A and B are shown apart, each in its own frame.
Chain A
């Protein structure tokens, strides 16, 4: 009946729309080639390459990308959040020497560090050995003597190691899959113990939209570290939390000054001072209050999908 009435009206709009979407889908489908698709212990690993040579790593077909790189160009950081992690460098008096990355992804950040800071000692804790293999084979990740990957759960690695770090980057959460034992007060206390004096933590936390977990993590970081500095990676849902072993008050001006000095020292291929100045999200009395997460009580799966009510 409906189709008949369209024909009578002479409208071919639905048909055109259908045709357009099929063409669009076909064009899109052709634009990506799958390099590897494999089931590991923890993920459904997929690496695709688009017409421009960008390779993307994802852990589930329907979800976002973990990492994106252009082969032979480790100096490019595709994701805004990856560039925003460098705001954490502005909290340190000099370029971090000993760095730990919890969660490898495609390894684009460690490779970038290696390219621009050749002196850096980099440890990486990655739970999934297949992710490490795929990153090496398909995404240009190359560990070396001063860049080592440990096949371990992040928390287990931090408790077993006797090393300490200038910077610990926590990047082990998917946008939806959040291992609760890497979110709690007890976990952050372990992290804090593994920081050198003056050391800092940078954590990649998903946006607060429909996500009470974001506020619970603010509360939990505050409980362990005191001040939390938050930077929103513009153009993405990622926020970077920065906390310090010593709970110093930092002005944005002083951080911007340090970011300018870093630009002169290191020739980063993007401009760091604006990332610090324009992306900071101040914590105010308006920021919703939330409960501190503990090993006993960390309902991360529930919080992740809950909207924060307007008033705390």
Chain B
């Protein structure tokens, strides 16, 4: 009975991380097209590069996250996996456009140029987004709620976040505040969530462990 509140709060934090990272991932992809267009135009190759690089990064992230969840099953790890893309997105305006321009100058051709630029700019942050899904599934699974139930919840919440991230960014955010401000806003949201996860781990978790012992 005493542990009920921290457990509910922990679930809320995990769901919030899953929701926001799902949204930020897709928002980042939409923003990617605005980042690349000044250098590589709005060709089919730009969209093809973006989507495949995001999927490849997610693929790697899922795999890494699944393996990590067997080693360390804690909210701290989830917090770190949220903190990393937060830092990368917050600082993106400092390096993103410069890196894109640098790759444009190498003149690698209409296909390879945007593909290499997408790899350099979007691959790493998106890997972290990918790790969050299996970590969250593992954290939420319990004898009462099995892996299937928690996986279903995580995918549903993550995809809801993705829908809102996609529509919100393309329909409103880019039009209201511009590309750089969007990137910083996403970074700030992720940072807030990572602080919540890490904070919960530091403050609430030892208490929870005491109660369990």
**Residues of chain A whose beta carbon lies under 8 Å from any beta carbon of chain B:** 41-42, 127, 152-156, 159-160, 179-181, 184, 186-187, 294-297, 299, 301-302
User: Chain A residues near B34 (CB, 8 Å)?
Assistant: 180, 295
User: If A159-B104, A160-B107, A296-B180 touch, does A153 touch B40 (CB 8 Å cutoff)?
Assistant: yes
Is there an interface contact between B174 and A299, defined as CB atoms closer than 8 Å? yes
Is there an interface contact between A181 and B41, defined as CB atoms closer than 8 Å? yes
CA distance A156 to B174 in the complex (A): 23
User: If A42-B44, A179-B42, A186-B38 touch, does A297 touch B107 (CB 8 Å cutoff)?
Assistant: no
- CB B114 to nearest CB in A, in angstroms, measures 10
Other than A156-B39, A179-B37, give 5 A-B pairs with Cβ distance below 8 A: A127-B43, A159-B104, A180-B37, A295-B34, A296-B180
**Residues of chain B whose beta carbon lies under 8 Å from any beta carbon of chain A:** 34, 37-44, 104, 107, 110, 174-181
User: Chain A residues near B177 (CB, 8 Å)?
Assistant: 297
Q: Which of A154, A156, A186 has the most CB of B within 10 A?
A: A156
Is there an interface contact between A181 and B44, defined as CB atoms closer than 8 Å? no
- CB B117 to nearest CB in A, in angstroms, measures 13
CA distance A296 to B176 in the complex (A): 11
Is there an interface contact between B38 and A297, defined as CB atoms closer than 8 Å? no
Is there an interface contact between B175 and A181, defined as CB atoms closer than 8 Å? no
| Nearest opposing residue in chain B for A41, CB measure | B44
User: If A295-B179, A299-B174 touch, does A181 touch B37 (CB 8 Å cutoff)?
Assistant: yes
User: Chain A residues near B39 (CB, 8 Å)?
Assistant: 156, 159
CA distance A256 to B23 in the complex (A): 57
Is there an interface contact between A181 and B38, defined as CB atoms closer than 8 Å? yes
User: If A159-B104, A160-B107 touch, does A154 touch B41 (CB 8 Å cutoff)?
Assistant: yes
CA distance A17 to B42 in the complex (A): 46
| Nearest opposing residue in chain A for B37, CB measure | A181
